[in-house]
Amino acid sequence: MLALGTPENWDPVIRDDAFLWGLSMKRYLAAAGLSLIGLATIAGSTLALTPPAPQPATQPSMAQAGEAPAPQPAAPAAVETPAPATPQASPALALPPEEDVVQEVWPMPVEDFLAGKYLERADVVLTQRQWNLASWAIRWATKSPFSHAAMVFTGPQFESGYSSTFVIEAGTSGVDISDLRDYIADKSAFIAIKRFRKEWFDEQKQSRVRGLLLDKIKASYNYWAIGSIVRSLWFGVEQSVSGDEKTVKRFRERNWNPPNEFICSGLVQVGFVEATIEYIKSGVLPPAALNEVVFEREAATRLPDREDWSYLDEESSKTTAVLFRKQNFDALQSVTPEDLAASSKLDWLYFIKNGMVYKVDSYDAVRKLIGAAGS
């Protein structure tokens, strides 16, 4: 092996070359070091600018952690703020079907009126025909604008399967069911409607009244039209002299049927009375209810006062009600259309003329409309 010895023993030329070579190596090492530092710096910057994609945090299990997790610092206590009071929902109102929501404008066309739910079973219908001689005789005798009475029987408002509103009335062949539009179509007629309003007079009792009317008159009215007119005229004359009850009684004694206009208004009265007595006998209604359905003034005075019924025991009250009907049947059947019109026990509702329906609340309002209709 070549022994170099110490630098001091080297040849000066070799020594100078070794010095230059060592200096060059230092420079190379310095440059390499700076390059490595630069690369590290660039790599660090790149890593800083591109963070790793976040991973969903999962709570390590105790087995994975190998030790109990460090306790988490307690979260600061939340300051409780009162929650706004939740408004109480008001009970939902049952809205009528959209087709039933109709803005009411009065007077109302009669077709809109009949299509709505304005009538009820057992509503009382009062009419007159201006160019009818029998109608004129009745109106003259009773000093009333009305000569005929009927009752709402049924219609599409109450029962399915009907397209028209029907009334029950006494016609020339007995009890008939007529379309209310037949009255309306008669341009010489006008119609007024009243209603009996009591809390106890519900749909069941309304139906019973109309059922009694349907069964009430069995005899027919098959006399000649001219005979009915003559008898109507004579009835009017005799009624003005002797009064309703006595005239009805005398007609029966002669085997004459009273004019059907009177029979029909009397039929309305008897229907209300007999239905009420049925419910009194069954204990559904108190006897004082009878006072509320007697529309004939004279007959009403023959009933105990409402307070006096309390002095009678239950059986005596029922017996009194039945006897009243029996002893006052002629008076009840002689009720006229004017008695129904004048009674405060029936509320005024509507007046119909020339295809329009007016709301009314008094007899005076009806008379004004009748005057306007006749002008």
CATH number at residue 143: 3.90.1720.10
- Choice between 143 and 226, residue whose per-residue pLDDT is larger: 143
The pLDDT, as a whole number, for residue 161 is 80
Q: Average the pLDDT over 245-262 and give the result.
A: 56
Question: 52-61, 93-102, 113-122: which has the highest mean pLDDT?
Answer: 113-122
Angle, CA of 285, 291 and 296, to the nearest 5°: 135
Domain contains 15: no
Domain contains 30: no
Q: Residues 342-347: contacts with CB within 8 Å, 24+ apart?
A: 343/295, 345/196, 345/292, 345/293, 345/295, 346/124, 346/194, 346/195, 346/196, 346/295, 347/194, 347/195, 347/196, 347/197
Task: Give the tens place of pLDDT for each residue, 180-202.
Answer: 988 888 766 899 999 999 999 99
Q: Could you tell me where the DSSP H helices lie in the chain? A: 12-49, 62-65, 110-115, 133-142, 180-185, 203-216, 225-242, 244-253, 260-281, 289-293, 297-300, 314-327, 329-333, 337-342, 363-374
- Tally the domains of the chain: 1
Q: Average the pLDDT over 53-70 and give the result.
A: 48
What percent of the chain has a predicted confidence (pLDDT) above 70?
Answer: 58
Q: Which two tokens stand for residue 311?
A: 């002095």
| For residue 209, pLDDT beyond 60 | yes
Q: State how far the Cα of 218 lies from the Cα of 139, in Å rounded to an integer.
A: 26
Cβ contact 189:127 at 8 Å: yes
What percent of the chain has a predicted confidence (pLDDT) above 90?
Answer: 38
The pLDDT, as a whole number, for residue 281 is 96
What band does 124 get if pLDDT is binned at 50, 70 and 90?
A: very high
> Could you tell me whether strands 356-359 and 174-179 are parallel, antiparallel, or unpaired per DSSP bridges?
unpaired
Structural domain that includes position 289 = 103-374
Task: Give the tens place of pLDDT for each residue, 298-340.
Answer: 899 999 999 999 999 999 999 999 999 999 988 888 888 999 9
- Choice between 103 and 26, residue whose per-residue pLDDT is larger: 103
Q: State how far the Cα of 347 lies from the Cα of 340, in Å rounded to an integer.
A: 10
- The count of C-alpha atoms lying within 13 angstroms of the C-alpha of 240, restricted to the half-sphere facing its C-beta, is 13
Domain contains 51: no
- Choice between 211 and 71, residue whose per-residue pLDDT is larger: 211
| For residue 56, pLDDT beyond 60 | no
Domain contains 63: no
Q: Which two tokens stand for residue 168?
A: 């029950």
Q: Which of 6-20, 147-161, 339-353 has the lowest mean pLDDT?
A: 6-20
Instruction: Give the DSSP H/E element, type plus range, for residue 166.
Output: strand 166-171
The pLDDT, as a whole number, for residue 320 is 96
Domain contains 29: no
Domain contains 258: yes
> Could you tell me whether strands 166-171 and 148-154 are parallel, antiparallel, or unpaired per DSSP bridges?
antiparallel
Domain contains 290: yes
Rama region for 232: left / alpha / beta (φ>0; ψ in -120 to 50; rest): alpha
Cβ contact 298:209 at 8 Å: no
Could you tell me what percentage of the chain is helix, strand and coil, using 3-state DSSP and rounding each to the nearest 5? 50, 10, 40
Angle, CA of 260, 266 and 270, to the nearest 5°: 135
Question: 18-27, 71-80, 120-129, 254-263: which has the highest mean pLDDT?
Answer: 120-129
The pLDDT, as a whole number, for residue 141 is 77
The pLDDT, as a whole number, for residue 143 is 86
Domain contains 170: yes
Cβ contact 264:277 at 8 Å: no
